[in-house]
Amino acid sequence: MSEFEPKIIIFLCNWCSYAGADLAGVSRYQYPTNARTVRVMCSTRVSPQIVLELLKDGADGVMVTGCHPGDCHYINGNYYTERRMEMAHRLLKLTGLESQRLRLDWVSASEGEKYAGVVTDFVKELKGLGPNPVHKDAKLASRLKAAVDASKNFRLKVLSSKEINLISKGNAYGEKINQQSVEGIMEQATEDEFKASLILQLTNKKSQSVKELAKELGEPTDRTIEHVVSLRSRNLLALDHIDGATPKYKAIVTGGA
Amino acid sequence: MSEDARVGVFVCHCGTNIGGCVDVPKVVEYAKTLPHVVFATSNLYTCAEDGLSSIRDSIKENNLNRVVVAACTPRTHAPLFQSTCEEAGLNKYLFTFVNIREQCSWVHMKEKDSATEKAKELIKMGVARVELLEPQEEVQIEVIPSAVVIGGGVAGMAAAISLADQGFPVRLVEREKELGGFVRNLGYIWQERREAVGALSSMIRRVKNHRNINLYLDSEVVAAEGFIGNYEIVIDTHGEQKKDKVGVIVVATGALEYIPEGLYGYEQYDNVITLTEFEILAKNKKLPKLSSLAFIQCVGSRGQDKSYCSRICCNVTLKNAMNLADNWKNMLGLEEAGKVVESIPVEKAIPAEIAERRRGRMGRRDREAGEKDEAEVAPTRLDIAVFNRDIMSYGIEHELTYNKTKEKKVRFIRYTPQNRPKVSHEGDKLVIDYWHDTMQMQMKMMVDMIVLATPLVAQPDAKEISRMLKVPLGQEGFFLEAHVKLRPVDFATDGIYVCGTCKGPADIPEAVAQGMAAASRAAIPLARGYVQPESLVAFVDSDVCSGCGTCIEICPYNAIRKNAEGVAEITVAACKGCGNCGASCPKNAIIMNHYTDNQILAEARAALQAVNG
């Protein structure tokens, strides 16, 4: 095998996309053999953590498919999928891995041809991108690990699930928040939590100074100090020792996952 | 996992469907090398009795506690293999289905090597998943023993009568003020020369007089919530809303005729009408006096606009051509007692009835009815021509009728999609310009009327019912059944059934048969009295839950509440198992039974490790 054959994981919702993939078979629409499918009842089951874990583990591409908006078998599950995958995309961009490696698409039970087309197109795009470099790039690996950690973060999970209601129904006080501000909040929160997770990653084994961390994070030291202060107040980061005049920090490792 | 997994893998050849592409023996040998696999074999057809008994026997002989079947699709065959596992004493949730037909052999027909590799990996993924599965217990939920049938055409009425005859109360909801649906338009029923209205009326009488049928005319089902055995519906009659509870739902909302806007002079020339309009005129004895007419088949279908063949139109045209040839004096209202018709006084104007019907169509501009020409004298013969791409007179007797129709001197003229006949107007005649394929020349035909055989099309508001009931539509807007061959009147969603032309063009016997079939499928849960929904529900680890309430806010079924301890609790009967709460839980305290993070990740990760051998 001379040509690079990407390894793709595709999540199919039971009611629409899995049936669409079956219809592609019944209709004999041919597509490349790269797809490895996982059936779930609803696309909403697929959390950002799951897709990011797989990219971290070396999948060349991950696709999540579900019913078209409005057609979800579970009323509105796919709207949540859409918001959560948006969050996963934001995290992915922060890691530096091509965010095209994660795709979300809608395939209905009657769209066998579309399914074959979507897979073919994804394979083509991934061939263009080449293999997922995570296993050869330790820095990328630790950033992807940080993205996985961030995707499990309390604040991001609550926000990404509440986005829809914040816009349509309003917050606890009944105040509706417009889409633009919600997206702004999400953007900022995602970046903050990713960087916090990355600091914990970097200081997991070896203590680091703010200056060293700022370099890794690619941002000014004063922003990094804010993250460090916040992490210290959340009892996740501690002062390890002072090297000359430079304080070095280390993550507080707690047992379990 | 408390016990060591002992996995059995059964790989199906499916005749040559899988075996013709995937190297099944090689796949079996590979499966044997996978961790925890203690038995692997192949079957010619795993779903046949010898395949099933091989599963049952190996569970016992090899002490299997997990089973993987690699075959077709779980959407049709999972229940069969699950019950086979249960027969051998294995909990049905310890089974995993691997799809190597629809999603492998059928879509990689020319790549046998990599399809074989893919099948291996898919099985590896299935084995990784099955190891982590846990047995689940199912709860029984009582079924409300009544049904609602949406649509009072022949299919809906057949379904309602059949269910009512079996003793189940039925609500039959019809949008129009009358029962009968599309068939009300028709003149004569095929062959019998019986008036359609007559045949309908016996059905309508049974519906109206049945003590188990509650008829809601001029009404619509506007809301439906719940699940098999327990649906809450709202029936709206002129703004008056009535709530009701039913166990099952039968969808029989029918179809419409395609309006051939801009095709073959429709709406441009009077006397260019659709086949359905012709039926209405024939039924009401309002056909204008004619000396010649032509049918044009496949108007707007088979690629001209809609992709499909509506399949019933050829037979309908044959029926009308035959009737006209045999019986034209009566059909044109020229038969008066003792009077011999010497000539036909031809009328050119569009009958008022049709003009009225067209005006009534939504979004259609008003048009003035053409002025009546004076009757003229014409020969005492009715010339009938049928322009067609090919006549598909499917069914046992219809080919013979086709032949008889030809004997009656009905002319069948073929056209190709590249060379469609063109309609214009000359004097007081309609002119059809067409290419005669046998003579290889351009020809002209003058006729008094052109009848366009247009396809049945989906109801434009089928989408609303599709959304309300969460059942899918196909690409042409017709409802999509669970399986075209094996489950033709079921929806994939349990408790909802489909019949008649809302799932595609059908003639009357087919629509009635489908109605009866849907009724018998719907009667299964009603007669059994309970359902045992799959135990795919969420579970909250109360030690981990922080009581943040995110899941409560987003659950589409309001199936989660905060209990006395301030933590989330799932109402099992209301949970449908979508997994939204599981993906949202900020503390990872919610576990989706049968689709846990670990199970999903193990399955997917197995694909990321290279296959050897």
Shortest Cα–Cα distance, A185 to chain B (Å): 18
Q: Look up the CATH number of domain B1-136.
A: 3.40.50
**Which member of B470, B492, B584 has the closest CB to residue A19?**
B492
**Closest residue in chain A to residue B608, using alpha carbons only:** A59
Shortest Cα–Cα distance, B419 to chain A (Å): 29
CA separation for the pair A79, A68 (Å, rounded)? 9
Q: Does domain B535-593 have CATH number 3.30.70.20?
A: yes
**Token pair for residue B177?**
């003020």
CA separation for the pair B385, B302 (Å, rounded)? 21
B244 and chain A in contact, CB less than 8 A: no
CB contacts of A153 in chain B (<8 Å) are: 586
**Token pair for residue B86?**
């249960």
**Averaged pLDDT score across all residues of chain B:** 90
pLDDT beyond 70 at B427: yes
**Which member of B103, B577, B580 has the closest CB to residue A37?**
B103
Q: Do B584 and A161 touch (CB under 8 A)?
A: yes
Shortest Cα–Cα distance, A22 to chain B (Å): 5
> What's the rounded mean pLDDT across residues B576-598?
94
Q: Hey, where are the domains in chain A? A: 8-133, 205-257
Shortest Cα–Cα distance, A214 to chain B (Å): 28
CATH fold of the domain at A8-133: Rossmann fold (3.40.50)
CA separation for the pair A29, A10 (Å, rounded)? 17
Report helix, strand or coil for B137.
coil
CA separation for the pair B291, B285 (Å, rounded)? 16
B598 and chain A in contact, CB less than 8 A: no
pLDDT tens for residues B221-238?
999 988 889 999 999 999
User: Which helix (H) or strand (E) segment is B82 a member of?
Assistant: helix B74-87
Return the residue in A31, A37, A65, A113 with the most chain B beta carbons within 10 A, the one to mutate for interface testing.
Answer: A37
pLDDT at residue number B335: 63
> What's the rounded mean pLDDT across residues B161-171?
98
pLDDT tens for residues B16-65?
999 999 999 999 999 999 999 999 999 999 999 999 999 999 999 999 99
User: Which CA distances in Å does A183 have to A102, A110, A180, A226, B321?
Assistant: 19, 33, 5, 22, 65
> What's the rounded mean pLDDT across residues B440-451?
94
In this structure, of A1-10, B82-91, B312-321, B499-508, the range with the lowest mean pLDDT score is A1-10
Return the residue in A16, A23, A26 with the most chain B beta carbons within 10 A, the one to mutate for interface testing.
Answer: A26
**Closest residue in chain A to residue B111, using alpha carbons only:** A33
Q: Do A45 and B600 touch (CB under 8 A)?
A: yes
Q: What percent of chain B has pLDDT over 90?
A: 74
Tell me the pLDDT band of B369, cut-offs 50, 70 and 90: very low
**Token pair for residue B63?**
């002490």
Return the residue in A7, A23, A45 with the most chain B beta carbons within 10 A, the one to mutate for interface testing.
Answer: A45
Give the long-range contacts of residues B601-604, CB within 8 A, separation 24 or more: B601/A50, B601/A53, B601/A54, B602/B128, B602/B129, B602/B131, B602/B132, B603/A38, B603/B125, B603/B126, B603/B128, B603/B129, B604/A9, B604/A36, B604/A38, B604/A50, B604/A54, B604/A59, B604/B125
CA separation for the pair B18, B25 (Å, rounded)? 11
pLDDT at residue number B373: 44
pLDDT at residue number B199: 83
Q: Hey, where are the domains in chain B? A: 1-136, 147-254+459-531, 260-446, 535-593
Shortest Cα–Cα distance, A199 to chain B (Å): 21
**Closest residue in chain A to residue B73, using alpha carbons only:** A22
Burial of B586 (0-12, 13-18, 19+ CB in 10 A): buried
**Closest residue in chain A to residue B479, using alpha carbons only:** A110
Tell me the pLDDT band of B378, cut-offs 50, 70 and 90: very low
pLDDT tens for residues B558-571?
889 999 999 999 98
**Closest residue in chain A to residue B551, using alpha carbons only:** A161
CB contacts of A154 in chain B (<8 Å) are: 548, 586-587
CB contacts of A9 in chain B (<8 Å) are: 604, 607-608
pLDDT beyond 80 at B573: no
Q: Do A22 and B121 touch (CB under 8 A)?
A: no
**Token pair for residue A40?**
């779930």
pLDDT tens for residues B549-558?
999 999 988 8
CB contacts of B110 in chain A (<8 Å) are: 30
**Which member of A84, A153, A155 has the closest CB to residue B583?**
A84
Q: Look up the CATH number of domain B147-254+459-531.
A: 3.50.50.60
Q: Do A74 and B556 touch (CB under 8 A)?
A: yes
CB contacts of A111 in chain B (<8 Å) are: 475
Q: Do A7 and B597 touch (CB under 8 A)?
A: no
Q: Which of residues 58-97 of B touch A (CB under 8 A)?
A: 73-75
pLDDT tens for residues B260-300?
999 999 999 989 999 999 999 988 888 888 889 999 999 99
Q: DSSP label at B312?
A: S
B483 and chain A in contact, CB less than 8 A: no
Shortest Cα–Cα distance, A203 to chain B (Å): 24
**Closest residue in chain A to residue B471, using alpha carbons only:** A73
User: Which CA distances in Å does B231 have to B109, B223, B298?
Assistant: 44, 10, 41
**Closest residue in chain A to residue B121, using alpha carbons only:** A36
Shortest Cα–Cα distance, B583 to chain A (Å): 5
CB contacts of B579 in chain A (<8 Å) are: 40-42, 44-45, 77
- Note down pLDDT in tens along chain A; length 257 residues: 468 999 999 999 999 999 999 999 999 999 999 999 999 999 999 999 999 999 999 999 999 999 998 888 888 899 999 999 999 999 999 999 999 999 999 999 999 999 999 999 999 999 999 999 999 999 999 999 999 999 999 999 999 998 888 888 888 788 888 889 999 999 999 999 999 999 999 998 899 999 999 999 989 999 999 999 999 999 999 999 999 999 999 999 875 44
**Which member of A21, A77, A116 has the closest CB to residue B580?**
A77
The Cβ-side half-sphere exposure at B399, using a 13 Å CA radius, reads 4
Q: Do B579 and A57 touch (CB under 8 A)?
A: no
Tell me the pLDDT band of B535, cut-offs 50, 70 and 90: confident
In this structure, of A117-126, B360-369, B472-481, the range with the lowest mean pLDDT score is B360-369
Secondary-structure class of domain A205-257 per CATH: mainly alpha
